[in-house]
Every structure is written in structure tokens, then in C-alpha cells.
Structure 1
Amino acid sequence: MNNEAAIAYFSMEIGLSNDIPTYSGGLGILAGDTIKSSADLEIPIVAVTLISKKGFFSQDINNEGKQIEHAVDWDPSRFMVRLPKKVEVQVEGRSVFLQAWCYTVRSIAGGEVDVLYLDTDVEENTKEDREITDVLYGGDMQYRLKQEIILGIGGVRMLRALGYHIKKYHMNEGHASLLTLELLLLYKRDVESVWDENWIWDADRVKDLCVFTTHTPIEAGHDRFSYDLVQKVLGEIIPLEVLKRFGGKQYLNMTLLALNLSNYVNGVAKKHGEVSKNLFPGYEIHAITNGVHSFTWTCESFKRLYDKYIPGWANEPELLVRTEIIPDEEVWEAHIQAKSELVDYVKKVTDIKMSPDVLTIGFARRFTSYKRADLMFFDLKRFLKVCEKGRVQIIYSGKAHPKDTPGKDIIKKIVEIAKAINDNVTIVFIKNYCIEVALKLVSGVDIWLNTPLRPREASGTSGMKAVHNGVINFSILDGWWIEGHIEGVTGWSIGPKPVESSLIPVSDATDAEDLYYKLENLIIPMYYNDRGQWIRVMKNSISKLAYYFNTNRMMRRYVTEAYLR
């Protein structure tokens, strides 16, 4: 363990590998990629998260398409070291103790980053308190607030107990924003002030320490707690009127708390920065577009190809701009290898036979209404007519939150449609989406589909993973795709230009018709009749997109624009 870290990176979820199921989706995977690139670049960071001993959940899908959730029991001691220090926080007026497990991320370049997993499953605690860090995003609002106390307040105390000297605290989403209150308390103790006009000065000192990244324009993505609940669970660690000044008058808004106590705030794409300014007027909100960890999200066949023609790409992914030097036939051969492996995997887990010769569309992400996973079937007759132009097969995967009934209904609808049209189009749903499945999908399909309601997609990183493997994006112009899209050159758009900066209604019919038109008249004909042009778009995806949309570039920007301020 290295106590030299100067940056503390707090995230409720972190996704590093299948074996450590402490993530639910894109936010956690981004956090994992951020840590891996920090190790590559030897940035002095320590990460703080929760142990989530029962994970998010393991997903099963029954014959009717109903999602069934199972707890994931895993043993942290197989992968990480339990540290000897314990710290204490107050929850509902009683002492709750927590320990930390340390997992070290090691880069192929030699850098290392420690990840601290906070855990309340210690003998000093009651059974109820031992379960606080069990389930990621589990339980009710009271459970969630307890988790955020452990992450924010407990995380700062653990770092101090372990001897870390932190110069910046980076909150990846608002879940960790209670750390700002702990910092206020620390500086109040330093100056021995009462809670009077001095709190303004203390707040400025805290702001200089804090960086906040907001990830969502969706209301549900911003945690809000009633002050009755806050006083019951957290107590009055700072005067209520002071807390309301920072966190909101009517309820404690964790995003607002972070906004008011951070000197640098950013969204995760240029468009998302604009949307966030509209959502939170009066705040200076920057934009640093997300990326993905290039080495993690490149499949083996393309790794070999890049090693052969672009040595050094793994640590300097900007070198992928030179992809044009790779012969077309070798790009296609690498793609077919990945596609064949995916087809074999589908047969193994679903017993459904797919062909590597058929145009394959992939859609995999969190299943929630605004992602519109079923947009392709908006007009089922029209869709089937499009597929007469050339054979199409579709692979779906993804989880709906256990409490998201509309999201679960979309999964059920897709499973039902797959059965209804299986004589015309092969559609499979791969259950229990995870890092391993994601890599197979983003490298093995031909087209990566994304159909969110504009402008609700803050960034979207799965499409960035796809381009590292020469897979072509076909997406709504939202999030990162606004920056990455060149029509017909790096992929295709769906629907009108992105002019919205607020959550106005969007026409499913308009977007679906554009999807059908381009699939029928551009994508299917090019795939089956112009292999040379298809490969050119694949190579453009790599050279014009993968070289830039990676977390190495992203972290360099965080260092120069946020951490060194």
C-alpha cells in the first residue's frame, strides 16, 4: 500500500473485474477505467468505494422474459488485503465501525493505484449495521443514506487513519458528497471557530479541496433526502441551517451539496456540460468528455493487430490514429475472429445458433425507459420489411434495477418479440451482463446501437469500447456521439440534430423511421455489397475515435484542469 497519494477518488461503485462485483453499470466501469489509466500514467491517486459484499445482483431471465434477481456472495479475502485500521462514524445516534480492504491496480507500465473498499461487517457492529455495505444501491432511502455516510464521512476518516495526505477530493457523482461535511468539520476544528460567519471562510477552504463530476441529467440520478430522515440518520453534525445553505432548502440534494462545496465541477461530455448548466443555472460547469481504458476494452485479436503495426498503443492510445497503415484484410480477419468467438459464446449460453456471416447488431446497457431498448421494434412490420433487404441478427444484454418495473417490462417485451419473429430475425438476450460479456459484445458485433431519449445520455461509454475493436456506432446524437460522429465516416446518427438543452419530449416515431431508413438503405447494403467501404468505416472508427475517447486522455485533462487548480 502506498500512502503517497495526493488525489482521493470517491465513487459509490467501481468496476475492475468480474471477480469483484462492486459495480452496476457505466458509472462503475468508468471509475474502474479511470483508476487503470491513473496507474498507467502514474497519477498519485487512491480510490475509495464500498465493498458491496452481495454485489448489485446476479440476473436470471425466465422463459416469459421476467428478470429474477439473486444476491452475489463473494469473498473479498480472495482478491484483496484487509487493513488493520478501523474508524467510527455516527449513524442514528450510535457508533458504527468500519474497516477497509485494499486492492492494488497494477498497470502493465508499472504504475500502481490502491483502491480502498469500506466495510461495516465488523464484530463491533449490530447485525443491521454490519449489512450497511452489503448491497450496492439496495434497500430504501434510509439504507442509501447510511451507505453515503459510510462512503463520504467514513472514507475521509479512513484515509486520515491510514496516513494519506490528500490535496484534492474527487467526487464521482453526488453519492460521496457528505465528505464535504467531514472536511468542514475538520477545518472548523483547525480554527476552533463557532458556527458563525467563519463557516463562509471554512467553506472556501473546503471548495479548494474538492472536484465534482456529475454524470446524469436524469432526476432519479440526483439523490435527495428529507431533512427529517437526515436528522434521524446523520444527526446534526453541522447546524441544520448551514446544511440547508449548501444542500438545498426543502431537502438535502447531494448534487447541490457537491456543487456548492467544489471549486471545479464538470459534466462528462460537451453536450452534458450544457445540459447540466441548464439544470443547475448559476453554476460554472465545465466538460471533460469520458473515455474508456483502451487495453481493457480491446479484444485479443485486435490487441495482436495493434501490437504488430502500432507498438506502444496500450500506454499511448493516441497512437491508434495510425490505424490506416493496417491492411484491410487483417482488420477484417481480426473482426471475424472476435465475431466467431461471440457467436460461439451465444450458442454456449443460449443454445441459439447465429452466423458470423450475418450483419449483427448489439445493444447492451442498463435497461431503463429513457434508453429505449425497444425502439427498433416501434413499428414491427416496418422493421421486418427492412430485414428483407439483408439478413440481420440482434444481441441484447443488460440489467434493470430491481425496483425499475418499466425497465423490466422492456426486457420482457424484447424476449416476447424474439420468440414471435424468430422465423425471420434471430434475436437473443444474454442474461447477467458483466465486464466479460460486455467485452465479447463490443468486439464481436458489427453495429453498436444506442437509442436514448435526447438529451438524457450524459456520455455513454459502451460505444467508445466498440470503436476500439472496429465496431461501428449507429446512435442517437447525444452524449459523446455528438463529438465522435461524422455521418457515414465514423458511423451513423439516428434522428435529428441535437438542439435540446432541457428534457423536452422526443418523437419515438421520427427516430424509429430514421433508424429504419438508414438500416435499410445504407447499412445493410454496405455490409453485404461493399466490404471495402465497410472496412474503411471500421478503420475510421479506430483512428478518428479510439485514439481520443480513452481514459488516458481524459485523466490528463483532469490533472491539468481540475487537480492542479
Structure 2
Amino acid sequence: MTTDCSSVAYFSMEIALDPALPTYSGGLGVLAGDMLRAAADLGVSMVGIALVQRKGYFDQHLDDLGNQSESPTAWEPEKVVEPMLPVVTVRIEGRDVRVRAWRFLIKGLGGHVVPVYLLDTALPENSPWEQKLTDSLYGGDAHYRLCQEMVLGLGGVAILPELGHSLISSYHMNEGHSALLTLGLLEERLEGRALSSATEEDIHAIRAKCVFTTHTPVPAGQDQFPHDLVSRVLGEERTAALEVTGACPAGSLNMTYLALFGSRYINGVAMQHGEVSRGMFPNYPIRAITNGVHAVTWMSPAFGDLFDRHIPEWRHDNLYLRYAIGIGTSEIREAHVQAKRRMVAELKQRTGVQLDEKVLTIGFARRAATYKRADLIFRNLDRLRWIATHCGPIQIVFGGKAHPSDVGGKDLIRRIFESAAALKDVIKVVYIENYDWRVAPLLYAGADLWLNTPQRPQEASGTSGMKAALNGVPSFSVMDGWWVEGCLEGITGWAIGHGPESPDDEVFEIAALYDKLEMIILPMFYGRPTAYAEVMRSAIAINGSFFNTQRMLSQYLANAYFRPAVA
């Protein structure tokens, strides 16, 4: 039992806690970890809830043609995190499934601690199948996923008071995976009475405690479960209660709709994403709080040392990064040279490819999903070859996993390998196998240009470009997600194509990508290095000082956690 009580409980299916722990798959989990690290730094009373994910997401294996295969990322919580004594039960398919927790402590710069509890069903009292419910992140079929989400939402609500966290004022759902916590809170309030007896006052009381952040700008990304499965897994009484919430359109339980119904404050993760979400869910008052990244975590040693010398307050107050604008461009360039050297050495060790430290290096690393269009730069190989031959050499570094069941994502990786082979005489292309937190910071800091080419408006926010900006790496991106707010053309980076108000035109975007590489970026990088360093410096001062989790968390504190939402 703990003795402290946290006022905000942050629920997320995945949380990136440490590079060695496979408790995350990508951006959503990294954001969650960065949020909780910022809470620890700022002394905010929070607690995190996730699943233990004993087999992690997966390890990625790529052959010479770019074919992806997967294997589990096994780890032993017993050797890393602290076991907690309380055990609670979650009623799944008419059986009591026992749930315990492991505790990981996030320690802030000033010594404040934020506990994170990883829920686990691997207990001998559970059946062999039930013991595996907390094994695989985003694994299994709909049945497995629904049971997992019951453990997260219902189990998390049940175990928090047993762990000593009994004064929770806000339950924050990071995406819809934990939406069943609203049902758990209602059952807790009713104290054994039938769910059908719940009144409007009861619903209002639950809603007053809940905050929901949606990350999904397309309907296909929402978790949905068929009615017969929901009835079998949750039981008829719970299913009937969910049906009156409006969360079961077209005969399926939609976890996004459940979270929307059960929350007093709802937000998208960028200003544009807020607009898109209001269009998708016009009956709900959706705000926006733009994502950020944890500056201390993602800052390279070279830039951290530079800022410690010039603006030592930056670690405790990221807004001080604004004053990076006064640092000389020669020092900016020298710090980047050090970061790039580290990246080149690591890539040589991992891949055997020796990159040239003096060549413009483009970075593109994120989940391999078709809408992210990692291969957009290869749509006209002849044009790209001409640019690299006549305007200045280019080398490109890719990284990212495709979900094991994502055929399109796996095809995307193969196409990148095919393009790399076709260009090998003029452009070095490296694809990093098993891209994760351990190698990501080297790319964010070591690339010279950060590329992002999503299909608009499917990039809810994106955070990789924010991490690059902290290290003086300008973005070259389609105007989507955070870049709509972060792009000052020619000052913090460059836009690909029109702004978000224009219709999508991939042909135009491809032409704009090549034109700016040829006519603006490469001539500046090779011909006016001081001007390029000024863009790097502005990326830090303008974007790094704003797109961080200190600012993001302060907005959640002011607008979501401790102030009632205004419809």
C-alpha cells in the first residue's frame, strides 16, 4: 500500500517509461511517458495506469528486400519493476479475473515522483488464457482486445484505491482504449445497485471526473466491438447500460463514443485536429491542446551542454529555450556536428553503412503506415536522382515498424527498399531495423532535415518533428498536424504543398517537395551554411520553446483537470 493520494489518474494502453522496457509501440506511448515525465518535473500530483505488456509490441526483422517479420519482445517485470500487493478482480465473461500491478517510479528534476502502475493478469488463480491478457500490446483479435480494455479501464479504477490513490479528481483517458473506466466509476458510485438505476445525477457525477484526449482523425482508427461480443464479454447488464450512452451505433460498441459521452472535457492534440474532430463529432464540445515532447529526454548531449552554458534555466523552464536565438550560429553548427557524428557512428554499427557527415541527411522515422507516405520522396526517382547529382548530394535515413497485420504498411517498407536499390549509385538510403527509443534520439538530433509527408488531414499531431526541432533540425513537412502551427516558412523549416485549407493534391505535393529541395534547401545547406544554421537556431527558439510537455501539461492543468469545461 502507498500512502500518497494523486489527484490526476492518467490511463493509457501504452506508456514509454524507459528505453529498455517494451511497454509502448510508438507515438501514443511516447507522448504518455513524456506527459508523466513533465508531471514529475513540475511536481504535479499524477499517477499513470497501463498494462504490463510482458511480450511487448514486437521486435522487427527485415530481410534484404525489406520483408518484415516479427518476434516477441519478452521481458521480466520481476527483475525491473516493483510488485504491489493488492489484487482486484474484473468480471470478464462471467468469471472473476484477478489483476495485480507493478510499480515504476518516474523521478522529476526536483525529486518529485510520479508512480506508474502496470496491470498484470499473470496470476496462478487465473486460467492460462486469462494470464496472457496483459502480454501483447495491440495483439490478438477483437475478443482479446476487448478483454484487455476491460482490464485497463475497469481494473485500473478498481485497483487505484487499493494502492492508496483514493482522492482522484480527474481520470484522463489517453485515447479510447480505457473508456470502460467510465463504466467502472459508475459501478463504484452505485455501490452494488443495478446499472439501470443510474440517474442523470449519477451520469453527471461521473462525467465531471473524466477527461478524454482523442488522437484519431479517421473513423477507421477507433476501437469498435460487435454487439454479440460485447454482450458475451461484459454481460447483459453492462451492455444494456452502454447502449443508452449512444456509444453503440450500428450495432457495435465504439470506444471513442463512450469516452466522448463520459467526459466533461474533450480535446484533440493540435489546433487543426480539434477542428477535424469537431467535424467528426459535432455533438460534442471538443477543444484542442497541441502535443509537446519532454525536452530533457529528447535533447542530445551536445545541445544539452550548449544550453546549460548559455541558458541553464532551460531544464526547469523550457520557455527559456526562446533565448537560444541569441546563441551564435557557429556554436549551433558545432553542436549539430557532434550529434550527427554520433548518429553516423551508430548507423555504421547497426547497418554497416557508412554515411558521409558532410552530406545533407534527411530523416524520416515513424510508424510504417500507408497514410504517412514514407515513400513520397521516391515517387519520381529520375527527378530525385537529378537533384542529388546537380544540386548537392543527399542521403536518407528511415525507420519504423509496420503493425504485424498491416499489409499496406509492410508493402510500404518493401517499396522503400526497392527505391533504395534503384538509387544506390547516387543516394545512400538506410532503413533502420527495429527502430525504437534507443536509436530515435540519435536520428532526431543527427539528421539535417526532418521529413514528414502524411496524407492530410490524417496526422492528428505528430511529435517527431518537435523532437528534431529541440536539436536544431528543421522540418520539411506537409501542412498537417502540429506543423500547421509550427511552420514559419524559411524560418523554422519548410512546408510541402499548400496549407490545410486547400484540397489534397498529391501531384502538387510531390512537385513542391522536389522543387524546394532543388531550389531552396540544398542551395542553402551547401551554399549558405550560416543561413541554414539560422533556420536551425530558429527551430529551437520558436518551436522547441513551445512544443514541449511543460507547456502542454500546464494547459491541461488550466483547462482540463481543475476547471470545469464550458459547453
TM-score normalised by structure 2 residue count: 0.97
**How do 1:351-430 and structure 2 match up within 5 A?**
351-388=352-389, 389-430=391-432
Structure 1 residue 371 displacement after superposition: 0.2
Taking the aligned partners of 2:3 and 2:538, their CA distance within structure 1 comes to 41
The one-letter code of the counterpart of 1:370 is Y
Q: CA deviation at 1:78?
A: 2.5
Amino acid at match of 1:558: Y
Post-superposition Cα deviations, 1:508-559, rounded to whole Å, max 9, x if no partner, equal 2111110000000000000000011001100000001100100000001101
1:17: Cα distance to partner? 1.6
CA deviation profile, 1:235-267 (whole Å, cap 9, x unmatched): 134351553434123211000001011000000
Whether the 8 Å CA contact 2:195–2:241 is kept in 1: the answer is no
1:101 — aligned with what?
102
**Paired residue secondary structure (1:474):** strand
Deviation of residue 384 (structure 1)? Answer: 1.1
Q: Shift of residue 189 of structure 1?
A: 2.2
2:550 aligned partner: 552
Q: Which residue in 2 is equivalent to 1:277?
A: 278
Q: Deviations over 1:350-395 (max 9, x none)?
A: 1111111000000000011100000001111111112121000000
Q: 3-state SS of the aligned residue for 1:84?
A: coil
- What secondary structure does 2:53 align onto? coil
Aligned to 2:453, which of 451, 456, 478?
451
Q: Deviations over 1:30-83 (max 9, x none)?
A: 000000000001110000000000000001101121011010111112221000
For residue 205 of structure 2, give the secondary structure of its aligned residue in structure 1. helix
Distance (Å, rounded) in 2 between the aligned partners of 1:347 and 1:224: 43
Quick one: distance in 1 between partners of 2:244 and 2:433?
43
Tell me: CA distance 1:526–1:71, structure 2 relative to 1, closer, same or farther (3 Å).
Answer: same
Q: Residues of 2 paired with 1:246 and 1:327: CA distance?
A: 57
Please state how far the C-alpha of 1:2 moved relative to its aligned partner: 5.4
Q: Distance in 1 between matches of 2:363 and 2:161?
A: 45
Q: Write out aligned runs for 1:200-239 (5 A).
A: 200-238=200-238
Instruction: Say whether 1:41 aligns with 2:42.
Output: yes
**Does 2:129 match 1:120?**
no
* 1:271 partner SS: helix
Amino acid at match of 2:227: Y
Does 1:431 find its partner at 2:448?
A: no
CA shift for structure 1 position 19: 1.1
SS of 1:436's partner is coil
Q: Which residue number in structure 2 is paired with residue 181 of structure 1?
A: 183
Q: In the aligned structure 1, how far is the partner of 2:483 from the partner of 2:319?
A: 18
The residue identity in structure 1 corresponding to 2:517 is L
Q: Is the 8 A contact 1:226 1:252 kept in 2?
A: yes
Distance 1:69 1:551 in 2: 32
In 2, Cα distance between equivalents of 1:36 and 1:354: 34
Q: Deviations over 1:131-187 (max 9, x none)?
A: 000000000000000100000000000102222121110000000000000111122
- Could you tell me how far 1:9 is from its partner in structure 2? 0.3
Alignment of 1:331-370 (within 5 A): 331-370=332-371
Is there any run of 5+ residues in structure 2 with no aligned partner, and where?
none
Find the aligned partners of 1:185 and 1:77 in 2 and give their Cα distance.
Answer: 32
Tell me, in whole angstroms, the C-alpha distance in 1 between the residues paired with 2:303 and 2:75: 32
User: Paired residue for 2:509?
Assistant: 511
Q: Give, in angstroms, the shift of residue 4 of structure 1.
A: 1.7
Quick one: percent identity of the two aligned structures? 46
Give the corresponding residue for 1:81: 82
CA contact (8 A) 1:195 1:239 kept: no
Cα distance in 1 for residues equivalent to 2:335 and 2:180: 47
Provide closer, same or farther for how the CA distance between residues 382 and 248 of structure 1 changes in structure 2, counting only shifts above 3 A.
same
Aligned length: 559
CA distance in 1, matches of 2:135, 2:462: 27
Moved over 4 A (4+): none
Q: What is the CA-CA distance between 1:193 and the residue it aligns to?
A: 6.9
Is the alpha carbon distance of 1:239 and 1:92 closer, same or farther for their aligned partners in structure 2, counting shifts above 3 Å? closer
The separation in 1 between residues aligned to 2:82 and 2:557, in whole angstroms, is 29
> Per-residue displacement from partner, 1:175-225 (whole Å, max 9, x unpaired)?
0000000111122228x57724x4322110100000000001122321011
Q: Check whether the contact 2:224–2:252 (CA below 8 A) recurs between aligned residues.
A: yes
- Check the 8 A contact 1:244/1:252 in 2, yes or no: no
Deviations 1:488-524, CA, capped at 9 Å, x for gaps: 0110000111116xxx7x3321111100000000000
Alignment gaps of 5+ in structure 1: none
The CA deviation at 1:408 is 0.4
Give distance in 1, aligned partners of 2:139 and 2:194.
Answer: 38
Say if 2:168 is the partner of 1:170.
no
* 1-structure distance, mates of 2:310, 2:530: 20
Partners of 2:299 and 2:507 in 1: how far apart? 35
- Which of 465, 468, 475 aligns to 2:467? It is 465
Given the alignment of the two structures, is residue 486 of structure 1 paired with residue 488 of structure 2, yes or no? yes
Pick closer, same or farther for the CA change 1:243–1:183 going to 2, 3 Å.
farther
Q: Deviations over 1:418-449 (max 9, x none)?
A: 12211110000001111111101000000000
CA contact (8 A) 2:3 2:164 kept: no
Q: Judging changes above 3 Å, is the alpha-carbon distance between structure 1 residues 202 and 515 closer, same or farther for their aligned structure 2 residues?
A: same
What amino acid sits opposite 2:145 in the alignment? R
Shift of 1:346: 1.1
Q: Equivalents in 2 of 1:438, 1:16: separation in Å?
A: 15
Contact 2:397 2:431 survives alignment (8 Å): yes
The answer to whether the 8 Å contact 1:3/1:162 transfers is no
For the residue of structure 2 that corresponds to 1:247, the secondary structure is: coil
Structure-2 change in CA distance of 1:89 and 1:275 (3 Å): same
Retained in 2: the 8 A contact 1:467–1:541? yes
Is 1:2–1:114's contact at 8 Å kept on the other side of the alignment? no
Give the AA of the match of 1:342. M
Distance verdict in 2 for CA 1:187–1:369, change over 3 Å: same
Describe the SS at the equivalent of 2:312. Answer: coil
**Matching residue's letter, 2:225:** F
The letter for the 2-side match of 1:12 is M
C-alpha RMSD over aligned residues: 1.3
Deviations 1:456-493 (A, max 9, x none): 10000000000000001000001110001010011000
